[in-house]
Structures are given as C-alpha cells and as structure tokens.
Amino acid sequence: MGNDGGRQVVVASQNLLLQVLTHPYSIPTRRELVKEAARNPTTAELKETRQEQQEYLWSTDPISRRPLTRPIVSDSAGKLYNKDTIIEHLLPSEDDRSKAEAEKILQGAVKSLRDVVEVQFEVDASDTSSKKETWVCPITNKTIGPGAKAVYLVPCGHAFAGAAVKEVSGEKCLQCNEPYASNDVIPILPTEETDIARLSLRAQTLKEKGLTHSLKKAPGSSKKRKKNADVEEKQANGVATVVKLKGTANNSDDSEAPKLVPTSKVSDSGIKNASTASLTVKVLQEQEARNKKRKLAGNNNLNSLYSSRDPTKPMAKNSDYMSRGFYIPAHQKR
C-alpha cells in the first residue's frame, strides 16, 4: 500500500472539475468579489455628503467656482449664482467649452436676465468675526444657510426663513409689503422631492403663459402674439374679399364692377384654406377676362383702323383711307 499520492491528486482534480461544471456559480468571480466589496452608504454617510454639498452650494458659484458675493441671483430651480457670472454667460463668447459646461449646470433655465431674480439677503451686522457675510432672517433673526430651510419671494426677492413665511398670515412681503402669490415662494437650494417637483411645474406653467421666472414677459412672446393676430386679420380680410368678388361675378352689369385685386395679393393675404384660395383665383380670372373683353369692344379708335364694308361689293372711291389707292374698274378693262 503505497505510492498512491499521485492517484489521489488526480481524483481530487477530477472531483473539483466536476463540481465546477455542475455548479458554475459556486466559485465567486472577481466581479462578484468587487461588487460585494462596494457596499451601500449608510444613512449617516448620506447625510454627511448632503451637508457638504449644501455648504458648497451656499458658498460657491457652481459655474465660475468663485465665492458667492452680492449681488446674488437665483433661477427657477432655487439655485444661487453670482449676478456677474450670469451676465458673462449671456454675453457672446468664443469659448464654446465653458458655455457648454455652464449650460449643463443651468439646464436651459436661464436665457436672459428675466429668468433670474436677485435675492435680497439680510446681512448680520453684529457678526464681525469672519470675513464672510452671515445672512439672517429679518423676522426670526435666525441664520440662513446650510441646514436651514430658507425661501425668497418673487418678484421682490427678499429672503426669509421658511418657518417665518408659513407662520405669518397674508400674502404680502414682510419687508416691502409687495403682494405675492403662494406659488411664488421659492425654496433656496431645495432638497425635498416635493419642492423640486413644484418648482418644475411652476416653471412650465409660466412658460405656457409667456412669462419668465421673475414674472416678466418672455422675450418675443408679445411679437409672437402680434404676429398671430396679424395672420388672423389677413385671413378675415381674405374671406371678405372672396365673398365680395363672388357677388360681383353674379352681377350682369360689368360697367359697375369694382377694380380687380391682383392674384399675387390674394396669395399674400394669408388664406390657408385651399378651397377658398382656389375660388378666389377663379373669380379673379373671370373678372379679368370680362374686363379685357369690355376694353376691346369699346375701343373706337382701334375699330376705325379697319374697314367695315361688305367684302362681296366692289370698292368705291369713298372707301376708308386704309383701302384707298389707284384702281381700274373691271368693266373698263379691254
């Protein structure tokens, strides 16, 4: 009994191979080991990350990455920016890369200065220990910043603690007494899903009404409405012209017919209905043909150029001047 070590190794290898083929997922792969190593963050870690993000957004402009300094503006989503940064972004620039990066942050919410509201923060004058300004609520005197819910009102832009606006009755600004709607209370840097959804719905509603975030008219909205009104007026005028011309076509007295409207003007009148446009063109063509016929029939100067004699009778000496000349009568010929 000996010298069977090699045989035992072969048997063990065969059993391992059979186990792998029978149960291919029994041995963890590298991908599975790495996936198990990346665990989900805990609630405390998520809270800490959110706090760091809030501190960054409350103190830094996300586009220029410079510290937030007054004047500070906010878009419809409640984000804060330096006003000079927004102005630089709106001005023409050859740096397409920076424009694209800014658009990723703005997400198309800012197309002009009407899309932002300047936030009026109350500065704590008693805090002289730090170089950075400390913003407080003018009603509760509580600090406005990371970890504290704050709002501002549209269109005045005064900022308050969220609890102060809820507790005070009435819909007038506590600083300037300017009226505002309940939907115009904008949370600053919101984190709750309900606030984010409400702000998104508000922006969509204002866009449909032709208004911007600051409740001012959107650029080009008045021109668009005026253009639509002009088109409707042209269509009404075109229909009236068709009715008038149709009534004229049934009139037997051509001498009293009104002057024709050129076909090009009818096509430019804004008539989009195909049947109405074709009827207009047809009436105009018939009217034009009648006018030409009337002009040819009533032109006496043109008729005097031609002879009105009977072609079967011989010409006499009193013929018209177009047919006068030397001639020899047939009975005098030899």
Question: Among positive and negative, which fits the CA dihedral 45, 47, 50, 54?
Answer: negative
CATH topology of domain 46-208: Herpes Virus-1 (3.30.40)
CB atoms within 10 A of CB 36: 9
Specify which residues 82 forms β-bridges with: 72
- Give the pLDDT confidence score for residue 200 in this predicted structure: 95
Q: Which residues contact 135 (CB under 8 A, 6 or more apart)?
A: 121, 122, 123, 124, 143, 144, 145, 159
Please state the domain extents for the chain: 46-208, 221-296
Positions in the chain short of pLDDT 50? 1, 242-243, 249, 252-261, 263-266, 268-269, 319
Helix (H, G, I), strand (E, B) or coil at 177: coil
81 has which bridge partners?
73
Cα distance between residue 75 and residue 292, in whole Å: 67
Tokens standing for 59?
């103190």
Q: What is the pTM of this model?
A: 0.57
The DSSP symbol for 219 reads T
Residues 51-88: tens digit of each pLDDT: 899 999 999 999 999 999 999 999 999 999 999 999 99
